[in-house]
Structure 1
Amino acid sequence: MPSRSSARLAALTVAAVCSAASTVALTSPAHADSVRIHDIQGTTRMSPYAGQKVTDVPGVVTATRTYGSSRGFWIQDTTPDDNPATSEGVFVFTSSTPKVAVGDSVTVAGTVSEYVPGGTSSGNQSVTEITKPTITVLSSGNAVPAATVIDEDSVPDTYAPSGDTAASGSINGLALDPSAYALDYYESLEGMNVQVSDTRVVTGTDPYSELWVTVKPWEHRNRRGGTVYGSYTSQNTGRLQIQSLGATADFPKANVGDTLAGDTTGPLDFNQFGGYTLVASKLGTLESGGLERETTRKQSRGELAVATYNVENLDPSDATFEEHASAIVNNLKSPDIVSLEEIQDNNGAKDDGTVDASETVNKLIDAIVAAGGPKYEWRSINPVNDQDGGEPGGNIRQVFLFNPERVSFTDRAGGDSTTAVGVVKEHGKAQLTASPGRIEPGNEAWKSSRKPLAGEFVFRGRTVFVIANHLNSKGGDQSLTSQYQPPTRSSETQRHAQATLVNAFVKSILDVQKNADVIALGDMNDFEFSDTTKILEGDGELWSAIKSLPRSERYTYDYQGNQQVLDQILVSPAIRRGCDFDYDSVHINSEFHDQISDHDPQVLRFHP
C-alpha cells in the first residue's frame, strides 16, 4: 500500500495537505472564572475562550486516549444547557498517558486552544481542547452521560453552509445551525459521547483500522451496499468514520455492504484523515453482507476489449503479481488491450536513477500466463528520472499490454520521453508520427505528472488509436469537511490543462480522419460530471462511456464512504454513434478490505 498521505490524497475533493498539526490561540492569554463546557464550546466552531485560562471546568470522563501523539481524555457535562448548538463534551490534551479513568468526576483547569489536525495550511476545521491541564478527581465510578444517538432523523440532508466571503469562505465564524447542516450538527456534538446503531458499512476497513458507515440506510445506496457520490452538491451526509479506542488487532475486517450491528458508542472527534470520527469505546458486531468480487463477460470474436487498470505502484518486490494476474485473466477475461497505470521501475522506490520497468512488466506477463491467460506483449516509454510524480524513485508510468493473437501494435520509431508525438495524413487516414509516443511531454501541464502514452493498434484490419492517461492527482484539495465551504479543488488547475492537451490531440486525429476509432482511458483522477471530464470530451471529440451505466453503477474508487469515478474510458464519435459497445466497471478492489489496488478496472467492448 502507498503511504497514508499518498493513499488518501489520491481521491475526491476530500483530501487535506499533510502538514504539521497546529494550535491556534485567537485571543491573548487571560483568566476566565469557572465556566461550563458548553460555554467553552460556544455556538460557533471557535471557542469564545480560545487562548484563555479556565478553572474548575466540571465533567465526567467518558473515554481516554492512551496512544499516539494526541493523548488525553474526553469529559462531558452532566448538566447540559438547552441550546442544541453548544456541545457538552471537550477533549483534555495531556500529551502523556492520562491518569484518570472512565467514570471519574473531575474538574479541569487549563488553557483553551483550537487544535487544527494537519496544520492551518490544510484548511481543516479545528478541535476545541483544554491544554496544559490541572486535573482534580472528585469521585470515581460515576455513570457516563448517555450517548446522543446519531441517526437518519437527526442528520440534516444539506451538508454545509456557504462560507463567509469576508473570511475567504470560512465557516468558522458562522453560528451553528445543527438542524439545517450536517457539518453543523456534527460540530454541535464535538467531544460528546455519541452512538450509532445497525449501520451499513460503506468502505472496506483500511490498513489503519478505520472504516466508514452511514446512518442513512437508503442515501444513494446501490445494489452492492455502497453510497454513490454523484455531484458536488450531494455529499452523502450520513457518512461517519469509525475508529477504535481499543486494540486495533480486534478491529473488524469489513467490506462494503456489511453491517456494524448493535450499538457503537464513543466520543465524536475530528481528525486530519476523515473529519468527524466516532472513536469507539464500544464497537458493534460485524455482520457480513456477503459481497463478492465481480467478473465481467468474455469478449466475442468480433469485439475488441480494451481495459484500464491502476495496479497501485507495482514493482518487482510486491507480493501481488499472482493476484493481479488472476484479476486480469479471471475477472477481466483477458482483455485484448490493457492500459496499466502505476507501473514502477525495476527497483521500485529506490531512487538511484533506474527508470527501466521491463522486470516489473515481464513479471506480470509471466504471472498472467501462469494464470491461464495469453502471452501479452507490451509497449511503453521510460520517463525521465523523477519527472513524472508519484512515489519518489518509483518512476510510475502507463504501459500497454496487448494480446498479439487478437490485436497487433503498429510500431513506428521516434517516440521517446521528451519528443512529442504528432498526427499526419497518409492515404486519407490519420497516422501517428511515432507509436508509441508521448503527448507534448515538455508542456508545463505535465510537470511532476505522468505524460499520456499514445499508440496505434490494428484489430481485424481496423486501426484503433489508444491514449493511456494518468492525470494529476487530487493531492492538495481541501477536504469535504474543510472550514472553507465549498472547499477549493486546487489540483484541478493542472488537471484541466492536461485535459485540454489530451482533447486537442484527439481533435488532431479526428481533423484528419473524422471516423477514426479513438479511445482515451486511464486514471483521470476526476469524476464523470467534473469539468475535467467536460474538457476531455470537448465539443464531442470524446465521450465518457461510464455514463452509459446507471448512475448507481458509476464508481471505480471508494473514498471516505463516497463511491466515485476516477478511472474512465472515453470514446470518439465513431465508437459511440454505433451504440455497439458494452461498458463494465468491474468491482474487484475498491469495496474490499483485502484489496490489491485501490482502483477498480474498467472494460470497454466494441465492434470497430
Structure 2
Amino acid sequence: MRSTKQQRALWAALAGLMAASSLQAADLSITQFRVRGPAGGNDEFVEVQNSGTAPLDVSGYKLNASNNAGTTGTRFTFPAGVTIAPGCYLLLANTASSGYSGSVAFDQKYSTGVTDDGGLALLDASGTVIDQVGLSAGSAYKLGTPLASLGSTNADQGYGRKTSAAGFPQSTGDNSADWVKVAPTTPHNSASTCVAQGPSLSIADASVSLRNADDVPMPFTVTLSQAGAADVTVHAATADDTATVAAGDYDAVNTDLTIPAGQTTATVTVNVHGAKAAGADKAFKVNLTNASGGVALAKPTAVGAILNEIPVAAEIWQITGQGQVSPLLGKRVATTGNIVTAVGPAGFTIQTPDSRADNDPLTSNGIYVFTSTAPTVKAGDQVNVEATVDNYFNLPELKNATITTTLHGARLPTAVVFNDKVPSNDPNALSCGTTNYQCFVGMRVTINNGMITTGNLRFSNEPFAEVYITANGQRSLRKPGVRYTVPVPDGVNLPNWSGNPEVLKMNTADFGAVPVNTPYNAGTTFKAEGVISYAFGAYTFIPSKITITKANPLPRPVDNKPFYAVRVGAFNMERFCDSDFNTTFTCSGGSTEPTPDEVKLKTQRLSAYVGSVLKLPDILSVEEVKSLAVLQGLAKQLGDDYPAQYEAFLQPGHDPSGINVGFLVRTDRVRVVDVRQLDADATWDDGGTQSFLHDHPPLLLTADVPSIIGRMRINVISVHPKARQNVDKTGTTADRDRQKRFLQAQSLAKQVQALQTDRKNLLTPIMVVGDFNSYQFSDGFTDVVGLVSGKYDDSQNLLKLGKNIVKPALWNAVDSVPAQDRYSFLFTENFGNIQGQAPRSVPTHQVLDHALLNTVARGLFLQMEYGRGNLDAPVQTLDDAAKETGVKKALGSSDHDGFVVDLLTLPSILL
C-alpha cells in the first residue's frame, strides 16, 4: 500500500494488450544482453543504445528485471547527469560475486542478478516502460512471443537485437522476431564507435478512451528526425489487431503523408467508433512504408490502443480475483455500497459488507483506493467508487477514482482474526492456497496476541521503519528439521523445517496508528486491528489501531549472580580487531581495519555489555578476538569501569583473518592453573592439500574458583567451529564445509572425552562453551553440538559418525532456558520464490551459542541466561547507542547475545 514516505514509480498496464502495446516509443533501446556467462549466473551485462539523433539525458531511467513468476524489481537506476550521444552505447554489468567477466569495460554497475528465465525492461524517469524483452511466458516483461531461455549452462552466450537496413534497432513488438542469439557476445560500451544516424521517420503510439457510443479521433504523430530541404512523403496504412475494421472498431486509413521542406512533423488521424457497453480493450496498428528520398524508417509501426473505460459493475472480490494480478487489470470498474475500513495519508481501504461477501476463501473482499492526497472519507463510511484497476508492485488497487459517500457510520465488516492458526504455519497448507496472505490483502484484520520479533528496520529517510511480527505471540525461532526449500538428504530421517511462513512485516505509521519513527524492541507484545498490504516483495500488516500490551525494555541484563556461585559465560564479540592489517585477510571482514578510535569505542561498548548485561562473569569465553593485546585492552577497560580485576588469555590459531578464541578471567576471584590449546596442530585433507583442521583451536582453561569451603577446580573449553554459511547449499564448497565441521567436532569430542575420563577430573566440573555455529538440534547434515556432547544420531545426519565418542554424554544447558528465549543470533533467511514472493526473506532467531556440561557440572547447575542487548533493538538504536553512556552503550556491541551459566560452588576433594 502506498504511503507518502515511500514514493515509487507508477505502472501503466493495459489488460490483454501485452502482445501489441509498448512498442519502442523512445530512443533508448536494449540492444544486447547476457543473463549468465562463463563465470556463472552473475556474469551478466545489458547493452543500451540511443537510436535517436540528439543526445539523450537518461537521468533517473531504470533497468528493471522480472522472474518467471512475474515479480519485478529495479536492478539499476541511471544517476543524474548521464547522457548518451546519438547512436552511442552504455554498458551495464553485474559486479556481484562471480560477476561480469567480459573484456569490454562496463560503464555502470549493478549487483542483483536476473534469472535465467526472467525478463528485462527499460523505464524512463517517469516509470513508463520504453523497451522490454522476456525469456519466458511468465515474465512481466516481454513483447509478443518471448525468447527462449538459454538455460543454466555457464557459457558466453546471450541475445542481440536485429537492426534495420538503416542500422536502427528493430522493434516490431515481437521479441522472437527482433532478437537473435549471439555466441560469443560482443557488447559495446561508451567508448565504442557510435552508429551514425541519418534522417529517419518515426510514428508514435496513441490511445483513446471510450466512455460512450460517440466516435473519437485518434491522431498519430509522424516525426522526421531532422528537417530537410525537400518535402518527404511516406505511406501510412492501418492494420487490424485485436481491433478490426470489420467489427466496426475503427475506420481504415490508407493514405500518403507529406512533411513539407523545413518541417519535421505530420499527423494521420484514425476515426475510432464508440462503445455502448463495457468490454475488452483493443488495439490496431499504423504502418509506415515507402518513405521518399531514401529516408530511413526508424520506428515504422505504431500501436493504437482503444481503451474501453465504460465502467464494469463489479464486487471487490471480482476485482481482486484469486491471484496477485487482478483479472480486471486496466479496466474501469464501478463498485458500490462498500465500507471504508481504514484511512491513510494517500488513500483508503474498502471492503464488501458481510452480507455480500463471496464464499471463496481464496479471494479478498478488500481493496485499496489510491487518492494521492489525504482522503475526505472516514472509517465506517459507505461509498460508491468508480476507478481504474491498477497493479501496484503486485498489489491490486483502484486509482483515478470518483468517490461518492452514501452513508456515514456503517457497521464495519467482520475482521479476519490472525492467531496461532491463521496465517498458516504449514508451508504445505497455506492460508491462501499458493500464498499465506494474498486472500487477505485489503481486508480488515485483528491481532489479539501479536509479538514484534525484530526491532525496527531502516528505510530511506525513516530511521525507525517496519518491524517483523507474528500473530501467535511467539518469536520467529529456528525449529528442528532440514531448512525449508532444501531437499532432505538421502538417509536422513528428518522433516523440513517450515521456514516460519506465519511471519510478516508491520508498518506501524502508514495509517497514523502511531507517530512516525516510533521505535519498537523485539519481544514487545501488542493488540491491533488494521489491513493487509503488499509491497517490495513482502506482505505487510498496517494497523489502524494498536495497543502495546507489554513493552520489552533493552538492554535486559541477566540476574545477579547468587552468592555461592561461580559464573561462567561466553560471548562472540563480532570481530574485535586492532588497527593493523597484518593477516592474510582483514580481521574486520571489510576492506580496511578499524581506526584506533573505532577500536577504543568497540572496547568501551564491549565493557558495558560484559559488565552491565552479563554482570561480570568470573570466567568468560570470548570468540572472534584478534589479539591478546586488544583483549588486554578490554580487561583494563573493565577494571576502569567496574570493581573487578580481569586478566586476558588468548593463543593465536590459524584463521587467515586473525580472529581467535580466548578468555577473560576475574583474577580477583579465580586462580588460573593452566591455559592450553587442544589439537591445535591437527590437519585434514583439504582437496589434496594438508591444512590445519581448526581455524580457532579449542582453548582449555583450568582454574580454581571460590567455593563454600576453600576452592573448587573447574575446566572450561572455549570453542568456535567453522561457520555454517554453506551448509544448506549444494556443490563442492558445501561438501567441503560440512566435512570440515564434522572433523572439527570429532576432534573436539575426542579431547572432551580424554579430559572427562582422566582420573584427576572425575569429580571436576567440565564445561564446553562458545559459539558452536550449530543449532541445539541437527540441521540434517552435521550435528556439531550433538557430536561434541555425545548425542549424535546418525539417522538425522548426512555425515555418519558410527558410535558416539563422549560417554557419559554432556548436557546442553540451553534446554533449561525458556523456549521463547532460546536464541543467541538473528539471521535473515532467503527462502526464494515461495508464497507469491521472490525472494521471501524471514528473520529467524537461532541458538548458536551453547554451554555443554558434564555430569558433575550439571549437578551444580543453577541457571543459564542470555543477556539481551544486541539482537532485539532497532537498527537505528544500535547505531545511536555508540554515543550513550552507562549500560545503554552496550547495545549493538556485537551481532550475538552472550550468555552466563551459574554453578553452585562446593569444596573440591581434589585440592
TM range (shorter): 0.5 to 0.7
* 558 and 511 in structure 1: CA distance in 2 versus 1, 3 angstrom threshold: closer
Deviations along 1:83-139, one digit per CA (max 9) or x if unpaired, are 1211245689x9xx95795869452256x69x6xxxxxxxxxxx4558xx9x53323
Q: Please point out which of 308, 312, 326 is paired with 2:608.
A: 326
Whole-angstrom CA distance in 2 between matches of 1:54 and 1:21: 27
Per the alignment, residue 375 of structure 1 pairs with 646
Q: Please point out which of 206, 210, 215 is paired with 2:471.
A: 215
Cα deviation, residue 569, structure 1: 1.8
For the pair 1:507 / 2:749, whether they are aligned, the reply is yes
* 358 and 408 in structure 1: CA distance in 2 versus 1, 3 angstrom threshold: closer
What does 1:320-399 align with in structure 2 at a 5 Å threshold?
A: 321-343=603-625, 357=627, 360-372=630-642, 373-381=644-652, 387=656, 397-399=660-662
Whole-angstrom CA distance in 1 between matches of 2:330 and 2:468: 36
Q: Which has the larger radius of gyration?
A: 2
Cα deviation, residue 36, structure 1: 7.0
**Is 2:557–2:615's contact at 8 Å kept on the other side of the alignment?**
no
**Is 1:105–1:139's contact at 8 Å kept on the other side of the alignment?**
yes
For the pair 1:186 / 2:437, whether they are aligned, the reply is yes
**Is 1:269–1:279's contact at 8 Å kept on the other side of the alignment?**
no
Cα deviation, residue 278, structure 1: 1.0
**Is 1:213–1:561's contact at 8 Å kept on the other side of the alignment?**
no
What does 1:149-228 align with in structure 2 at a 5 Å threshold?
A: 149-152=415-418, 155-156=421-422, 158-162=424-428, 177-178=431-432, 184-190=435-441, 192-197=442-447, 199-203=449-453, 205-208=455-458, 209-216=465-472
Whole-angstrom CA distance in 1 between matches of 2:723 and 2:447: 39
Indicate the structure whose relative CO is greater, using CA pairs within 8 Å and at least 6 residues apart.
1
**Is 1:242–1:277's contact at 8 Å kept on the other side of the alignment?**
yes
Per the alignment, residue 556 of structure 1 pairs with 824
For the pair 1:587 / 2:849, whether they are aligned, the reply is no
Q: Please point out which of 554, 568, 583 is paired with 1:306.
A: 568
Whole-angstrom CA distance in 2 between matches of 1:58 and 1:522: 63
* 62 and 55 in structure 1: CA distance in 2 versus 1, 3 angstrom threshold: farther
For the pair 1:545 / 2:813, whether they are aligned, the reply is yes
Per the alignment, residue 524 of structure 1 pairs with 772
**Is 2:453–2:522's contact at 8 Å kept on the other side of the alignment?**
yes
Give unpaired runs (5+ residues) of structure 1: 1-16, 67-71, 116-126, 164-175, 221-225, 344-355, 389-394, 413-420, 422-431, 479-487
* 264 and 581 in structure 1: CA distance in 2 versus 1, 3 angstrom threshold: same
**Is 1:499–1:536's contact at 8 Å kept on the other side of the alignment?**
no
Whole-angstrom CA distance in 1 between matches of 2:570 and 2:685: 21
Give unpaired runs (5+ residues) of structure 2: 1-95, 97-110, 120-136, 145-241, 243-279, 282-311, 378-383, 459-464, 482-496, 577-593, 705-711, 759-764, 793-803, 828-841, 878-890
Whole-angstrom CA distance in 2 between matches of 1:342 and 1:136: 57
Amino acid at match of 2:331: T
* 473 and 146 in structure 1: CA distance in 2 versus 1, 3 angstrom threshold: farther
Whole-angstrom CA distance in 2 between matches of 1:598 and 1:439: 30
Cα deviation, residue 379, structure 1: 0.7
Deviations along 1:223-280, one digit per CA (max 9) or x if unpaired, are xxx676654567777654311327997333233554445x4424422555xx432134
For the pair 1:467 / 2:718, whether they are aligned, the reply is yes
SS in 1 for 2:440: coil
**Is 1:36–1:77's contact at 8 Å kept on the other side of the alignment?**
no
**Is 1:311–1:341's contact at 8 Å kept on the other side of the alignment?**
yes
Per the alignment, residue 253 of structure 1 pairs with 519
The alignment yields a C-alpha RMSD, in angstroms, of 5.2
**Is 2:813–2:864's contact at 8 Å kept on the other side of the alignment?**
no
SS in 2 for 1:588: coil
Cα deviation, residue 457, structure 1: 1.8
**Is 2:721–2:744's contact at 8 Å kept on the other side of the alignment?**
no
**Is 2:557–2:613's contact at 8 Å kept on the other side of the alignment?**
yes
Whole-angstrom CA distance in 1 between matches of 2:359 and 2:138: 26
**Is 1:379–1:400's contact at 8 Å kept on the other side of the alignment?**
yes
Cα deviation, residue 37, structure 1: 6.2
Whole-angstrom CA distance in 1 between matches of 2:533 and 2:747: 50
Deviations along 1:356-389, one digit per CA (max 9) or x if unpaired, are 55664344323211222223213142765xx55x
For the pair 1:277 / 2:540, whether they are aligned, the reply is yes
**Is 1:340–1:400's contact at 8 Å kept on the other side of the alignment?**
yes
Cα deviation, residue 286, structure 1: 3.9
* 64 and 500 in structure 1: CA distance in 2 versus 1, 3 angstrom threshold: farther
* 556 and 580 in structure 1: CA distance in 2 versus 1, 3 angstrom threshold: same
Amino acid at match of 1:381: P
For the pair 1:604 / 2:901, whether they are aligned, the reply is yes
* 458 and 476 in structure 1: CA distance in 2 versus 1, 3 angstrom threshold: closer
Amino acid at match of 2:362: A
For these two proteins, the number of residue pairs brought into alignment is 485
Whole-angstrom CA distance in 2 between matches of 1:157 and 1:149: 14
Cα deviation, residue 154, structure 1: 8.5
Cα deviation, residue 504, structure 1: 1.0
Per the alignment, residue 108 of structure 1 pairs with 388
* 154 and 362 in structure 1: CA distance in 2 versus 1, 3 angstrom threshold: closer
* 296 and 153 in structure 1: CA distance in 2 versus 1, 3 angstrom threshold: closer
SS in 2 for 1:546: helix
**Is 1:410–1:455's contact at 8 Å kept on the other side of the alignment?**
no
Cα deviation, residue 474, structure 1: 5.4
Cα deviation, residue 570, structure 1: 2.5
* 56 and 100 in structure 1: CA distance in 2 versus 1, 3 angstrom threshold: farther
Per the alignment, residue 428 of structure 1 pairs with none
Whole-angstrom CA distance in 2 between matches of 1:336 and 1:441: 39
Amino acid at match of 1:371: D
Report the more deviating stretch, 527-536 or 226-235.
Answer: 226-235
Per the alignment, residue 121 of structure 1 pairs with none
SS in 1 for 2:646: coil
